[in-house]
Amino acid sequence: METGYVNVAEIFGENVFNDSVMQARLPKKVYKKLKQVVEEGRELDLETADVVAHEMKEWAIEKGATHYTHWFQPLTGVTAEKHDSFITAPTANGKVLMSFSGKELIKGEPDASSFPSGGLRATFEARGYTAWDCTSPAFVRQDAAGATLCIPTAFCSYTGDALDQKTPLLRSMEAINEQSLRLLKVFGNTTSKKVTPSVGPEQEYFIVDRQKYLQRKDLIFTGRTLFGAMPPKGQEMEDHYFGAIRERIAAFMRDVNEELWKLGVTAKTQHNEVAPAQHELAPIYAEANVAVDHNQLAMETLKKVAGRHGLQCLLHEKPFAGVNGSGKHNNWSITTDDGINMLDPGRTPHENVQFLLVLTCILKAVDRHADLLRESAADVGNDHRLGANEAPPAIVSIYVGEQLQDVLSQLISTGAATHSIAGQKLETGVRTLPDFMKDATDRNRTSPFAFTGNKFEFRMVGSQDSVAQPNVVLNTIVAEAFSEACDVLEQAEDFEVAVHDLIKKYATEHQRIVFNGNGYSEEWVEEAEKRGLPNIKSMVDAIPALNTEKAVRLFEKFKVFTKAELDSRVEIEYETYAKEINIEAKAMIDIATKQIIPAVIHYTTVLAESINAVKAACEADVSAQTEILTEVSALLAEARKALKKLQEVTGSAATIPEGREQAVYYRDVVKAAMDGLRAPVDQLEMLVDKAMWPMPSYGDLIFEV
Ligand code: ADP
Ligand code: MG
């Protein structure tokens, strides 16, 4: 193992065509033009693009690149790319040149027909377009394929409909930019020119040994174990969380960090998580679209580097039943170009008023669109976490902490807040609103949406999901609340009175969304129901939130999605759900038929032979062997029956109309049949000779990495 010294500052961003590279390599005029385009969101002209493309190519070739690719994020959950080499047609003397034009940089035309479009793209018009997102820098990725210049792009249909995660994200960033600037302006800010949502996604994952992984067809096909009895020791000792990182994992993490740093990803924090073999990686927060791209790179890098270390990275939300699952905490704030974090309680009473308005606008946004936020975190794997007695609950609520809660309560009951429980001196100059201190209250780990001092932490997102959609929703719903507040404040005769009244109104009308208690408790479920908060337990039930009248109005108003785009996403999500459960069911059938049942039969044969052999040899008591044989045989019969049932219901799925109906069928009928098969098989695993069991156990997988 190489233990050489790494100069982080030197390698950081070395494979990124970032600002300093552009400044150094591009002619001054071109550099200025490009900066302008990035900052003001204008269109890049072909002449400038040609110069940028040429320099980008030269730089990439110096890094060993032979190919370039438009790197995009279709609605499959993973990134897609199609590689083209830089070579041109051979000249008369048989030599090739390396070329890359501005047109190739800014626009690509992948065949869109193999990506999900939910009916947006008629098959006769299969063309799709990728367009350079020049706000996310290009990079060179080095791997077994050599080096490839990757150009982050958005992906649209021929008619301009978004077929990806990035297009709506960029649109939502524009929406929140515009409405935040309006809000700042009514508070007298004339200096801020741009407001950007910042995102820091904390990534959880599992690491297992690759040789063992390869013996588990369920992990290979579905990313999670479909069978598996609990090991004698689980996570009850809590000795893994923040524990010392084992050598093998440490070496892997070191490599991951190095790779990510080279790509300009600010890998910052790493630690062991709650479950054995579970870990976390967090970057330093970045602009939302860059953070989304970087999170995709982080997930790809975790998988790739794990392979090199003889390990396998599992990004599934619930690789092991009964063991803590993995999520992705989406830390979100909104920051101006001159460094003001709008979620930071300020130092002056004036800043505090603005903060309170922002806060209560967010209460309103989340309360009104709790269903959309819940939907943004819905994926098939996440159903095993949200609403399944695991963190966090499926009910969206906001944690604001004791101090803020106290201020809100005073506002609601008396219309003024005159004191603050953290005990600091009150600034009573303006409208009797108190001064705040950051981190005046304890942290709450059970809330799905927690205020953590100067940002919100949305904890529902699944570990393998893109963080794009949660941020699209957050940006847009908050933009809407800001816009409605500005509609009032811009017309107000007495600004101070108006803003005070709005804060009080929002705090009062939306207090039901605030919950500071234990989000995992049964009492909360009952309480939330009394408050009328939605408790959406499955992805299938979350999907309709995407194109309700309320959602269509919201997204169309801020030009984030058209109704057609929303309808298409609904269709894609139902389809994805049905497809994924279908794969799981088929994988179970395959594994049970070809591996587990034969292994159990083998064991019963050995048992029966041993009974006969003992009987023939002596008068010894064989009741123990007989008992085991009887028990195993009974479970085998049960498993066989359950297998038949699963085959039958999976086979019938095709007869159910596609879309919602089929998805509901998979959830209610197929999943139940899967559980029916798993139960006897897991019991068998506890009885059958370990040497004969056809795959590594949970214990082998999570304790012996
Ligand atoms: P913890 O696990 O204690 O919640 P971590 O340090 O693991 O905290 O992760 C916190 C994440 O929040 C990091 O990615 C960090 O960069 C990000 N973050 C910090 N401040 C902000 C902010 N103002 N806006 C958005 N994200 C932030
Ligand atoms: Mg963390």
Which one, of 341, 363, 524, 359, lies nearest residue 447 by Cα? 524
Residue 344 CA, closest ligand 1 atom number: 23
Cα–ligand 1 centroid distance for 228 (angstroms) = 35
Tokens read off for 359: 């806060």
Rounded Cα distance, 139 and 71, in Å: 10
- The neighbour count for residue 450, using CB atoms within 10 Å, is 25
Distance 464 CA to ligand 1 centre (A): 19
Task: Considering only residues 45 and 415, tell me which one the structure prediction assigns the higher pLDDT.
Answer: 45
Chain-wide mean pLDDT for the chain? 90
Quote the CA–CA distance of 161 and 251 in Å, as a whole number.
44
Only one residue has tokens 């083998």, namely: 602
- 277 backbone φψ class: left, alpha, beta (φ>0; ψ -120 to 50): left
What does the pLDDT read at residue 440? 46
Pocket test for ligand 1, best of 202, 265, 294 (most atoms within 8 A of CB): 202
CA atoms 306, 307, 313, 319: torsion sign = negative
Distance in angstroms (rounded) separating the CA atoms of residues 312 and 307: 6
CA distance 451 to 399: 6
Ligand 1 atom closest to Cα of 201? 14
Band of the pLDDT at 703, cuts 50, 70, 90?
A: confident
Ligand number nearest CA of 342 is 1
The fold of the 577-703 domain, in CATH, is Four Helix Bundle (Hemerythrin (Met), subunit A) (1.20.120)
Q: Strand, helix or coil at 141? A: strand
Average pLDDT over residues 165-194: 96
| CA 381–ligand 2 middle distance (angstroms) | 21
| Closest ligand 1 atom to Cα of 200 | 14
Residue carrying the six token digits 């949305």? 458
Which are the contacts of 426, defined by CB distance < 8 A and separation ≥ 6? 418, 419, 420, 434, 435
Q: Report how far residue 217's alpha carbon sits from residue 225's, in angstroms, rounded to the nearest whole number.
A: 9
User: Nearest bound ligand to CA 198?
Assistant: 1
Atom of ligand 1 nearest to the CA of 454: 23
Q: What is the mean pLDDT of residues 353-362?
A: 94
pLDDT, tens only, 68-108: 999 999 988 888 888 889 998 888 888 888 999 999 998 88
pLDDT band at 171 (very low <50, low <70, confident <90, very high): very high
Interval between CA 346 and ligand 2 midpoint (Å): 25
How many Cβ atoms are within 10 Å of 705's Cβ, its own excluded?
18
CA distance 341 to 199: 12
Amino acid type, 129? Y
Q: Which has more pLDDT, 570 or 79?
A: 570
| Ligand 1 atom index nearest CA of 280 | 7
User: What is the C-alpha to C-alpha distance for residues 379 and 311, in angstroms, rounded to an integer?
Assistant: 25
**Distance, CA of 342 to CA of 455 (rounded, Å):** 9
> Measured in angstroms, how far is the CA atom of residue 284 from the centroid of ligand 1?
7
Q: Which of 129, 121, 176 is nearest to 154 (CA)?
A: 129
State the distance from the centre of ligand 1 to the C-alpha of 457, rounded, in angstroms. 8
Q: Are 192 and 181 in contact (CB under 8 A)?
A: yes
Q: Cα–Cα distance between 288 and 168 in angstroms, integer?
A: 12
Q: Whose CA is nearest to atom 17 of ligand 1?
A: 200
Query: 222 and 583 in contact (C-beta within 8 Å)?
Result: yes
What is the whole-number distance in angstroms between the Cα of residue 106 and the centre of ligand 2? 37
- The residue count of the chain comes to 705
- pLDDT of 596 higher than 60: yes
Q: What pLDDT, in 10s, does the model give residues 530-540? A: 999 999 999 99
Q: What are the domain boundaries of the chain?
A: 12-164, 172-421+436-561, 577-703
Q: Which CATH number, 2.130.10.10, 3.40.50.300, 2.30.110.10, 3.10.20.70, labels domain 12-164?
A: 3.10.20.70
- Please write the tens of the pLDDT for every residue from 227-267: 999 877 666 656 666 677 788 999 999 999 999 999 999 99
Contact 695, 215 (CB under 8 A): yes
Residue 684 backbone phi and psi in degrees, to 5: -60, -40
Q: What is the CA radius of gyration of the chain?
A: 28
Contact 72, 80 (CB under 8 A): yes
The pLDDT of residue 122: 59
Distance 200 CA to ligand 1 centre (A): 5
Q: Residue 372 and residue 476: Cα distance in Å, rounded? A: 11
**Residue nearest (by alpha carbon) to ligand 1 atom 7:** 282
CA of 705 to the centre of ligand 1 (A): 29
Q: Who lines ligand 1 at CB under 6 A?
A: 198-200, 202, 269, 282-285, 331-333, 341, 454-455
DSSP states of 547-570 as a string? Answer: GSHHHHHHHHHTTS--HHHHHHHH
Q: Indicate which atom in ligand 1 lies nearest the CA of residue 332.
A: 25
What is this structure's pTM?
0.94
Residue 695 has pLDDT above 90, yes or no: yes
Q: What is the three-class DSSP state of 59? A: helix
Q: DSSP letter at 594?
A: I
Place of tokens 């897991």: 682
> Residue 386's closest CA among 370, 403, 399?
370
Q: Count CB-CB contacts under 10 A for residue 1.
A: 8
User: Of 109-123, 207-221, 492-506, where does mean pLDDT reach its minimum?
Assistant: 109-123
Q: What is the largest CA-CA distance in the chain?
A: 104
Instruction: Quickly name the fold that domain 172-421+436-561 has.
Output: Creatine Kinase; Chain A, domain 2 (3.30.590)
The confidence band for 661, taking pLDDT boundaries of 50, 70 and 90, is very high
Beta-carbon neighbours within 5 Å of ion ligand 2: 202
- Ligand at minimal distance from the CA of 459 is 1
Nearest ligand 1 atom, CA 283? 14
> Which ligand sits closest to the CA of 474?
1
Confidence of residue 406 (pLDDT cuts 50, 70, 90): confident
pLDDT tens digits, residue range 447-479?
999 999 899 999 999 999 999 999 999 999 999
Pocket test for ligand 1, best of 455, 459, 463 (most atoms within 8 A of CB): 455
Question: What is the whole-number distance in angstroms between the Cα of residue 652 and the centre of ligand 1?
Answer: 47
Contact status, residue 677 vs residue 639, Cβ threshold 8 Å: yes
Per the CB < 8 A criterion, the answer to whether 697 and 229 are in contact is: yes
CA of 328 to the centre of ligand 1 (A): 12
Say if residue 669 is exposed, middle or buried (CB neighbours under 10 Å; 0-12, 13-18, 19+): middle
Distance in angstroms (rounded) separating the CA atoms of residues 697 and 461: 28
Q: Which of 285, 326, 362 to mutate to test the pocket of ligand 1 (most atoms within 8 A of CB)?
A: 285
3-state secondary structure string across 295-361:
HHHHHHHHHHHHHHCCEEEECCCCCCCCCCCCEEEEEEEEEECCCCECCCCCCCHHHHHHHHHHHHH
Distance CA 540, CA 468 (A): 20
pLDDT tens profile 625-644? 999 999 999 999 999 999 99
Percent of the chain whose pLDDT exceeds 90: 72
- The span from the CA of 166 to the CA of 64, in Å, is 28
Kindly state the average pLDDT of the residues 25-41. Answer: 89
Alpha carbon of 48 to ligand 1 centroid (Å): 37
For the CA of 343, the closest atom of ligand 1 is 23
Query: How far, in Å, CA of 204 to CA of 270, rounded?
Result: 10
Cα-based torsion angle of the residue sequence 402, 406, 407, 410 in order, rounded to the nearest 10 degrees? 170
The answer to whether 482 and 182 are in contact (CB under 8 A) is yes
Which residue among 331, 336, 343, 475 is best mutated to probe the pocket of ligand 1, counting the most ligand atoms within 8 A of its Cβ? Answer: 331
Mean pLDDT, range 7-32, rounded to an integer: 94
Ligand 1: which residue has its CA nearest to atom 11?
200
516: left (phi over 0), alpha (psi -120 to 50) or beta: alpha
What DSSP designation does 89 have?
P
